[in-house]
Structure 1
Amino acid sequence: MDMAADQAQIDELRRQLSGTLLVSGQAGFQQALKIDNGRVQLQPSLVVQANSTRDIVLTLQFAQRHGLRLTVKGGGHSATGYCLNDDGLVLDMSLMRAISLDRDTRRVFVQMGARWHDVYVYLINSGTGLIPIGGGCPTVGIAGFMQGGGYSFVSRSYGMSIDNLVSLTLVTVDGQVRKLDADCQDPTDRDLFWACRGGGGGNWGVVVDMTLQVHAPATDTMLTGQIRFLPDRAQDVLGFYNQWVETLPDEMAVYGIWGMSPSPSDPTVKIQTFGFTVIYNGNATTGASLLAPLLEKGPLTVSLNAITLPDFELLNGASTLVDNRSAYICSGMMMPGAFTPDAIAVFERYMASVPSTDSFIVWTHAGGKVSQVADDATAFAHRGARFVPEVKSIWTNASDARANVEWAHAFFTDLQPHFVGAYVNYIDPLLADWANRYYLGNYPRLLDVKRACDPDGFMDFQQGVGSAFEPDQSQPLDLAPLNRSFVD
């Protein structure tokens, strides 16, 4: 396009918007591109900060009319920065953060610029004691989290976030504003509601808002905290954990973490430990009795407190942030009993050779109500998984990128015999057979939904539904997929 014409068209769009249009060099442009993973340094031509559904429709129409690739940025926690792009248009939702609560139905309306922090604070201030099925990291945006499935510390009690999604508003690429819920009569709308629950963000259009079911927990506070062990205890403790978690009620979740933590003898010194983040949705005394067998294993440190879930999430969430450093993130899905001696040995071997002391691995403890939903009831296909490990390989100096990426990639490649898939919310550009690993048997239906709602593939990206991209697995590892959103 002619540059003078471009400027005139940009100015016209700016006049039509109730939100903000930013171009490179303008105040606020770079801040709008800031995301958790500082490794991603993509530079779009335009950023539109929408402030209404009409702004979203206008932006979609503008991008299509002028041949601009488009990505959508919600909370900025895309594991590999697919919310950004080079030379295209980024639709930034950060101005749309309205939240309201219907106390009678216990439902929260949330616009998709909001992050879980906003919802937690809103519900705390409501004085109701109600809790959402939200992210353990409070700075995660709601839109992407929900569309990928959404594990919560209380998912074993109440299901995944998508199981608590009542309705949503979606603008499809044709500019239609669709209200989607379980009672949709239109077949396309029914399929879209299914796809938006686990099919991953950036595929179906732009989600404007959601209505979420929130819950009143059985007690005002929950037993929460950390239990840590030294690495030489891994075979014994994780072998025990592997069987013990199968005896726990749905109200108890025991997440895992392996990385650096303060030494109990000198908090200014960090040592490598592994251990557990525990959350019991019930009476603290009952929770403590459930933990007794684990505590008999003689942990290095124990820190347990009875606090509200939102308070715990606000206090705990920062510990897993990349926080604008560089990161490569990958994931797996493990079935019940998958922490075998061979699997634990892989954890031991790679954590003993980790190239960065900033890197760590965490895993979600799933099951409970999550597993009581059929794999094809929503687009999320991993209902039977018990553990969802995620490695965050983090570094500061650009020269260290290859060593850190190759370490994490090899780590999870060696764990593949113990995995049954991967989690799309920890999307990994280097994952082989990614469509099958993320979606299993649901992928053919997702392809059908994609062809129906976006036949020209406007909402595309490197690992979007329908993409033919497959990363090269030869050595040395090709890192180029980490530095782009699109495959031309």
Structure 2
Amino acid sequence: MTTTQARHDALGEATLGELAQALRGVLIRPEDPSYDEARSIWNGAHDKLPAAVVQCHGVADVLRGVEFARSEGLSLAIRGGGHSIPGFSTSDGGLVLDLSAMNGVRVDPDRRRIVAQAGCLWRDVDVEAQAFGLAVTGGLVSTTGIAGFTLGGGIGWLVRRCGLTCDNLVGADIVTADGQYLHTSEDEHPDLLWALRGGGGNFGVVTSFEFRAHEVGPTVFSGLVFYRGEDAAQVLQGFGEAAANAPDELSLAVNLTTAPPLPFLPEEIHGKPIVAVLGVWSGRTEDGDAATKPFRGLAPVVADVFGPMPYVAMQSLLDPLYPRGMWNYFRSAFFSDLGATTVDALISSYSEAPNAVSELHIHHLGGAMGRVPADATAFGTRDREYILNVVARTPDSAGFDGVVEWARSASAALGPDAASYVNFTGEASDERVRASYPPATYARLAAVKGRYDPTNLFRLNQNIPPSVSPDRQP
């Protein structure tokens, strides 16, 4: 008998039947034909067997699911887009609350507000908001869910102009561990809103997010320019020099990668090391060519495909490179500059990349993100100009342990003070979570956790255990 079968038997058919009858959505059990599809997530590295999956159709289903998990002593996994790199959106023997059917978006163009349910993907939000020429900093892959992305911070193509996604979170509806349904804002439960702005999924099930929107698009000047892999050091050094003078409207990244078989790349370079500089100018489109020029001549150019593009097209440009089912492990490290020591470390790691689908992303930060006061949100690191995201992947299990070790080594090569980004810690790790926050911020998060989730029901996340407090009531 499998672990899941044992858990399912212990629950009892009558108990699960009562839950199914109480739902507006669907309860899926291991014996159901749709179980394998319902339990699968984007990251193929995690193949878990939950006792049941609740496909929620509304807040009432979330309330019932939370109550059921608490009363039955089940681990509780919350799934928005399902892109969790450590696999937190599923669980062996536990209950999964799948929010993907809760994907409504409402845009208020007069107030410049976007209200989006927690099951939305970024493509859902982008399409609706762009109908009014609005946007909020979103994911670089449009199939990413908004929930985990926002709660951990949110770094995207508007980060220098508009700040992190969590910086633009002005309100949220949330179901807490004791079954309360709360609205949080600057005026209602402000401590909880502070924690949701970068503290991860530790505090409850957020069912909807309210964002401050910005005028963007519908056309932006964006794209990619490619350089040969042997010029990587020259490109990185020149990128750092040019980035020092970049306006806030310009967000860019460098990808140290392998040339894909794209029609605009010479055939002889396919499958060989290549450097891509990609990004978005979100100011006046006619100013985009001049604004991006310093980054499009850093070395002899292989191909330059920058130009005017719909914002929604740029937001989905990388989607084909991140299909469902591959084995993924992402690691991160913030750092201050692209000086010689850092460039040498990055080039060394790049030269040791284990396969053609594993790569290093160096994203330029600062701008609006860096001007937010350190204590205004729970997001941990704002004083570094760059973040390294190590994207380690394999098509299946073969060689996965090797790419994980490479990713850990590449992030560690930037030094012991290179703080981590909580959304890209790779796996569940108390050490990496603590490294994502200054000590005072971590202590404050633990205190908020103690008030809203004193028993740590919401622990399938980059977990911050609750601190002991005499007053744990919200």
TM-score, normalized by length of structure 1?
0.89
Residue 402 of structure 2 aligns to a residue whose secondary structure is: helix
Q: What SS does structure 1 have at the residue aligned with 2:294?
A: helix
| Number of the residue aligned with 2:4 | none
| Residue 422 (structure 2) pairs with residue 424 (structure 1) | yes
1:40 is aligned to 2:42: no
Offset at residue 348 of structure 1 (A): 1.7
Stretches of 4+ aligned residues off by more than 4 angstroms? none
Q: Give the structure 2 partner of residue 193 of structure 1.
A: 193
1:15-30 equivalence runs, <5 A: 15-30=21-36
Q: Which residue of 2 aligns with 1:289?
A: 290
Kindly indicate whether the alpha-carbon contact (under 8 Å) linking 1:199 and 1:439 is maintained by their aligned counterparts in 2: no
Query: What residue identity is the alignment partner of 2:280?
Result: I
Which residue of structure 1 lines up, in the alignment, with residue 267 of structure 2? 266
Unpaired runs of 5+ residues, structure 2, are 1-6, 468-474
Residues 400-443 of structure 1 show CA distances to partners (whole Å, capped at 9, x for unaligned) of 122221122122222225x5311111132276731331112310
> CA 1:374–1:5 in structure 2 vs 1: closer, same or farther (change >3 Å)?
closer
Q: Choose from 96, 105, 113 the match for 1:90.
A: 96
Aligned partner of residue 114 in structure 2, secondary structure: strand
Q: Which shifted more, 421-430 or 45-54?
A: 421-430
Local SS of the residue matching 1:433 = helix
Correspondence for 1:177: 181
Cα displacement (A) at 1:364: 2.2
Q: Is structure 2 residue 349 aligned with structure 1 residue 350?
A: yes
The offset of 1:463, in angstroms, is 3.5
Q: Which residue of the partner structure matches residue 458 of structure 1?
A: 457
Query: What is the SS of the residue equivalent to 2:222?
Result: strand
Whole-angstrom distance in 1 between the partners of 2:175 and 2:220: 38
Farther-moved stretch of structure 1 (105-114 vs 280-289): 280-289
1:314 match: 316
Task: Give the Cα–Cα distance (whole angstroms) in 2 for the partners of residues 149 and 466 of structure 1.
Answer: 19
1:119 equivalent in alignment to 2:125: yes
CA distance in 1 between counterparts of 2:267 and 2:98 reads 44
Deviates more, 1:12-21 or 1:302-311: 302-311
Higher alpha-carbon deviation: 169-178 or 402-411 = 402-411
**Secondary structure at 2:316's aligned position in 1?**
helix
In the alignment, what sits opposite 1:475? none
Give CA deviations for 1:161-197 in whole Å, capped at 9, x if unaligned. 112112110100000000001122xxxx221111001
CA contact (8 A) 2:198 2:377 kept: yes
Structure 1 unaligned segments of length 5 or more: list them: 469-488
Structure 1 residue 132 displacement after superposition: 2.5
Q: Does 1:146 align with 2:150?
A: yes
The equivalent of 2:168 in structure 1 is 164
Q: Which amino acid aligns with 1:283?
A: R
- Local SS of the residue matching 1:64: helix
Tell me: CA distance 1:207–1:4, structure 2 relative to 1, closer, same or farther (3 Å): closer
Displacement after TM superposition at 1:113 (Å) = 0.8
Q: Is residue 461–residue 467 contact of structure 1 (8 Å, CA) maintained in 2?
A: no
**Does the C-alpha gap of structure 1 residues 190 and 34 become closer, same or farther in structure 2, counting only changes over 3 Å?**
same
CA distance in 2, matches of 1:313, 1:267: 29
Distance across 2 between alignment mates of 1:247 and 1:462 = 37
1:101-128 CA distance string (max 9 Å, x none): 222212121111111111122234x3x2
State the match for 1:482 in structure 2.
Answer: none
1:299 shift after superposition:
2.2
CA deviation string 1:368-421 (max 9, x = no partner)? 00011111110002112221111111113424122221122122222225x531
Would you say 1:373 and 2:377 are equivalent positions?
A: no
CA RMSD of superposed structures (Å) = 2.1
Q: Secondary structure at the match of 1:256?
A: strand
Normalising by structure 2, we get a TM-score of 0.91
Q: What is the rounded CA distance, in whole Å, between the counterparts of 2:275 and 2:106 in structure 1?
A: 40
Q: What is the aligned partner in structure 1 of residue 434 from structure 2?
A: 436
Q: String of CA shifts for 1:422-472, please: whole Å, max 9, x gaps.
A: 11111322767313311123100001011111111111137411189xxxx
Name which of structure 1's ranges 256-265 and 108-117 shifts more when overlaid on structure 2.
256-265
Percent identity, aligned pairs only, is 29
- Contact 1:421 1:436 (C-alpha < 8 Å) held by counterparts: no
User: Structure 1's 401 and 4: CA in aligned 2 closer, same or farther, altered over 3 A?
Assistant: closer
SS of 2:328 mapped into structure 1: strand
Could you report, residue by residue, the CA deviation over 1:189-238 in whole angstroms, capped at 9, with x for unpaired residues? 2211110010012x111001111122223x64211011121222222221
Pick which of 141-150 and 387-396 moved more.
387-396
CA contact (8 A) 2:237 2:339 kept: yes
Instruction: Tell me the distance in 2 between the aligned counterparts of 1:227 and 1:237.
Output: 11
